[in-house]
């Protein structure tokens, strides 16, 4: 991709591929989403990550709206971004005020960015009802502001606010607005579906009309209020738009903006456009999760292309098919966007699921073995009781090792007791857990620990009892703890499912427990968490010795089903 193509606002070809420019507004429009609040350092980290990805344009914010955005433009100049061109966002001058006297216009120039994007009204309704000025005066605002900035900045992008609504209501006026912007020197006119209510056919028709009306190239900026932002963006590109504006993961005001993750993957993998380097596209899932992490959002599992479930298969027929030929149920190779194929375990599973998972864990099994059918039956029985192994693959691997290889836990619970006590009404309660267990040599360990709740007390007491026998337990950290009530009709006696995510310096793993008693369900998940640590470390040691079995070796007791002790 030539430098000219990235900055001219005009379409470019690389070999036989057409280029669509990517304009990211995560740091401005994305920040208008509910529960999104990036710090200045967050915004700088995101800018660097987007630059590494190969984003053509990065809209850093509105310097006239708040001190943080103004500070961003000062700080980002010191970061020496590579190819990404930073844009400052603002609006046309205020009625009755010259551009030179308008504070917001002045601050756009003080941001010292190579690109300035200004928004102007193109629908007669808000001009008359919101700005409350004559339609002709609005044209003057657009022309004056674009011309003033264009003489001082490399690129001026005109965001035609409400263009598609305006084109439906008063098409001649909407086209007149973008015409004066282009004639005043706008390097690109971006057509905005500001309310997010347009449909692809309308977007395609209006985009074609805009292209016929002006010589400047056009772009597209869609909101997702009808869940058509991606479809509308693609329709605009098909109609000749050369730039797509959007946000990573589609975050933004109301229902969000067009999701650049879906757009870039579709443009590049399905429509033959050239947007970013293949190596950058393979970083797409990591980029999406990076933005979620800084926004303190849980990644959306079923997000296309980059979601954890995007290439996950649950039904037995599907799994059997993808093992023979991936393309039967996967529309692209997951690796191209940094994702991977996953097989889920549930009561919908068939033998193919179990064989697939066994091989994923390095266990060679034959789908015709009776042990596999027994494991499948047990899995379905557990799922019917509320167990779910999709987020608890460590628990499933232990279950599979018990069924196929007779794996047994290396310690045995004799009993535990948990006391929750509140001594003074306005002070927090105190929990104490006492545990008695037998170690691998049969030695009895009896310990107690306190915590800010019964689960934390139980976790501490369990670790305290085990660390004498297994010092590596100290490496395990509890990373996440989730409780789900299964069926609210049981009230306080309802069955609950506890999912725990744990990790050490090398791995992360999930475990599960189910019971009508929250402490018991937590115990099951906690025990599996620590047991899996011992199992995987033993497996790693065994793998280093040629000819050693992949199971974790001898143990003192065999566990008889979930939650049971022998």
CATH number at residue 522: 3.30.160.270
Mean pLDDT in residue range 489-514: 82
Residue 463 shares a structural domain with residue 536: yes
Residue 186 is predicted with a pLDDT of: 98
Residue 345 is predicted with a pLDDT of: 54
Residue 557 is predicted with a pLDDT of: 33
Residue 322 shares a structural domain with residue 440: no
Between helix 67-76 and helix 40-53 the angle, nearest 10°, is 50
Contacts of 373 (CB under 8 A, 6+ apart): 351
**Six-digit token pair at 565?**
């002790």
Mean pLDDT in residue range 183-191: 98
Residue 450 scores a pLDDT above 70: yes
Alpha-helix residue ranges (DSSP H) falling in 316-472? 316-324, 351-360, 370-384, 393-405, 454-466
Does 334 map to a domain? yes
Number of domains into which the chain is organized: 3
Residue 170 is predicted with a pLDDT of: 97
Residue 181 scores a pLDDT above 90: yes
Mean pLDDT in residue range 195-222: 98
Residue 390 is predicted with a pLDDT of: 62
Residue 378 shares a structural domain with residue 513: no
Residue 128 shares a structural domain with residue 185: yes
Contact 62/89 with Cβ under 8 angstroms?
A: yes
Structure confidence by residue, pLDDT tens digits, 25-62: 999 999 999 989 999 999 999 999 999 999 999 999 99
Instruction: Round the average pLDDT of the chain to a whole number and report it.
Output: 86
Tell me the backbone φ, ψ of residue 320, rounded to 5 degrees.
-60, -40
Residue 31 shares a structural domain with residue 91: yes
Mean pLDDT in residue range 383-387: 70
Residue 549 scores a pLDDT above 90: no
Contacts of 302 (CB under 8 A, 6+ apart): 309, 310
Relative to beta strand 412-421, strand 430-438 is: antiparallel
Residue 431 shares a structural domain with residue 387: no
Contacts of 122 (CB under 8 A, 6+ apart): 160, 161, 162, 163, 166, 173, 174, 177, 178
Tell me the backbone φ, ψ of residue 122, rounded to 5 degrees.
-130, 5
- Separation of CA 21 from chain center: 22
Distance CA 296, CA 544 (A): 39
Residue 457 is predicted with a pLDDT of: 94
**Six-digit token pair at 214?**
């002006």
Residue 272 shares a structural domain with residue 320: no
Does 349 map to a domain? yes
Among candidate residues 127, 124, 61, 47, the one with its CA nearest the CA of residue 89: 61
Residue 396 is predicted with a pLDDT of: 81
Contact 87/149 with Cβ under 8 angstroms?
A: no
Structure confidence by residue, pLDDT tens digits, 234-271: 999 999 999 999 999 999 999 999 999 999 999 999 99
Residue 11 scores a pLDDT above 50: no
Please state, in angstroms and as integers, the Cα–Cα distance from residue 239 to each residue in 159, 233, 236, 243, following that order.
Answer: 18, 10, 5, 12
Mean pLDDT in residue range 12-25: 74
Residue 62 is predicted with a pLDDT of: 95
Which of 158-172, 285-299, 331-345, 454-468 is modeled with the greatest confidence?
158-172
Does 133 map to a domain? yes
Residue 195 is predicted with a pLDDT of: 97
Does 396 map to a domain? no
Residue 383 shares a structural domain with residue 249: no
Does 298 map to a domain? no
Does 472 map to a domain? yes
Please state, in angstroms and as integers, the Cα–Cα distance from residue 134 to each residue in 141, 181, 347, following that order.
Answer: 11, 17, 65
Residue 315 scores a pLDDT above 90: no
Does 557 map to a domain? no
Residue 198 is predicted with a pLDDT of: 98
Contact 38/28 with Cβ under 8 angstroms?
A: no
Residue that finishes a domain, picked among 276, 300, 332: 276
Mean pLDDT in residue range 476-488: 82
Mean pLDDT in residue range 330-343: 88
Coil/strand/helix, residue 455: helix
Residue 330 shares a structural domain with residue 449: no
Residue 31 shares a structural domain with residue 111: yes
Among candidate residues 109, 67, 66, the one with its CA nearest the CA of residue 88: 109
Residue that finishes a domain, picked among 231, 259, 276: 276
Residue 386 shares a structural domain with residue 440: no
Domain membership of residue 363 as a residue range? 312-391
Residue 456 scores a pLDDT above 70: yes
Residue 8 scores a pLDDT above 50: no
Residue 114 shares a structural domain with residue 222: yes
Residue 312 is predicted with a pLDDT of: 80
Residue 524 scores a pLDDT above 50: yes
Q: Is the pTM of this model over 0.85?
A: no
Beta carbons within 10 angstroms of residue 170's beta carbon: 18
Residue 506 is predicted with a pLDDT of: 85
At 65, the pLDDT band (50, 70, 90 cuts) reads confident
Structure confidence by residue, pLDDT tens digits, 129-152: 999 999 999 999 999 999 999 999
Higher-scoring residue by pLDDT: 335, 402: 335
Please state, in angstroms and as integers, the Cα–Cα distance from residue 209 to each residue in 116, 241, 354, 360, 361, following that order.
Answer: 25, 11, 56, 54, 57
At 399, the pLDDT band (50, 70, 90 cuts) reads confident
Does 5 map to a domain? no
Distance CA 144, CA 162 (A): 20
CATH of the domain at 62: 3.20.20.70
Residue 348 scores a pLDDT above 90: no
Tabulate helix, strand, coil % of the chain (nearest 5): 45, 20, 35
């Amino acid at each position: 991709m030539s430098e000219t193509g990235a900055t001219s606002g005009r379409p470019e070809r690389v070999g036989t591929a057409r280029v669509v420019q990517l304009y990211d507004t995560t740091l401005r429009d994305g920040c208008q989403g509910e529960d999104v609040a990036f710090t200045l350092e967050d915004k700088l980290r995101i800018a660097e990550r987007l630059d590494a990805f190969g984003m053509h344009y990065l809209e850093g914010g509105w310097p006239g709206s708040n001190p943080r955005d103004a500070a961003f433009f000062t700080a980002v100049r010191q970061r020496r971004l590579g190819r990404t061109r930073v844009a400052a966002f603002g609006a046309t001058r205020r009625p009755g005020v010259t551009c030179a006297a308008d504070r917001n216009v002045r601050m756009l120039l003080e941001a010292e960015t190579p690109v300035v994007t200004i928004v102007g009204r193109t629908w007669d309704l808000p001009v008359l009802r919101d700005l409350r000025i004559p339609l002709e005066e609005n044209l003057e605002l657009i022309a004056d502001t674009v011309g003033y900035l264009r003489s001082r900045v490399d690129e001026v992008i005109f965001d035609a606010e409400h263009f598609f609504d305006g084109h439906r209501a008063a098409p001649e006026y909407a086209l007149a607005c973008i015409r004066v912007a282009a004639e005043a020197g706008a390097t690109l006119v971006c057509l905005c579906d500001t309310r997010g209510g347009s449909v692809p056919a309308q977007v395609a028709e209006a985009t074609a009309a805009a292209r016929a009306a002006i010589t400047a190239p056009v772009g597209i900026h869609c909101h997702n209020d009808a869940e058509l932002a991606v479809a509308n963006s693609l329709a605009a590109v098909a109609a000749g738009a050369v730039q797509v504006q959007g946000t990573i993961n589609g975050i933004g005001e109301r229902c969000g903006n067009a999701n650049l993750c879906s757009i870039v993957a579709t443009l590049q993998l399905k429509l033959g456009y050239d947007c970013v380097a293949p190596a950058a596209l393979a970083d797409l899932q990591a980029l999406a999760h990076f933005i979620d992490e800084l926004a303190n959002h849980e990644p959306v599992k079923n997000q296309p292309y980059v979601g954890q479930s995007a290439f996950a298969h649950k039904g037995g027929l599907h799994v059997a098919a993808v093992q023979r030929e991936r393309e039967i149920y996967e529309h692209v190779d997951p690796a191209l966007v940094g994702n991977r194929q996953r097989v889920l375990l549930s009561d919908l599973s068939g033998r193919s699921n179990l064989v697939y998972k066994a091989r994923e864990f390095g266990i060679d099994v034959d789908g015709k073995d009776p042990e596999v059918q027994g494991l499948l039956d047990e899995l379905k029985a557990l799922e019917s009781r509320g167990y779910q192994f999709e987020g608890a693959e460590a628990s499933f691997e232990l279950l599979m090792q018990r069924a196929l290889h007779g794996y047994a836990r290396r310690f045995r619970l004799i009993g535990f007791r948990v006391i929750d006590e509140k001594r003074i009404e306005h002070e927090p309660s105190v929990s104490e857990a006492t545990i008695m267990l037998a170690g691998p040599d049969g030695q009895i360990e009896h310990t107690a620990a306190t915590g800010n709740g019964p689960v934390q007390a139980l976790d501490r007491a369990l670790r305290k009892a085990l660390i004498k026998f297994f010092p590596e337990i100290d490496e395990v950290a509890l990373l996440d703890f989730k409780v789900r009530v299964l069926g609210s009709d049981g009230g306080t006696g309802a069955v609950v499912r506890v999912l725990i995510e744990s990790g050490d310096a090398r791995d992360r793993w999930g475990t599960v427990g189910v019971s009508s008693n929250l402490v018991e369900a937590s115990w099951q998940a906690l025990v599996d968490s620590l047991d899996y640590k011992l199992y995987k470390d033993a497996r790693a040691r065994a793998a280093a010795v040629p000819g050693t079995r992949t199971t974790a070796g001898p143990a003192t007791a065999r566990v008889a089903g979930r939650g049971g002790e022998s």
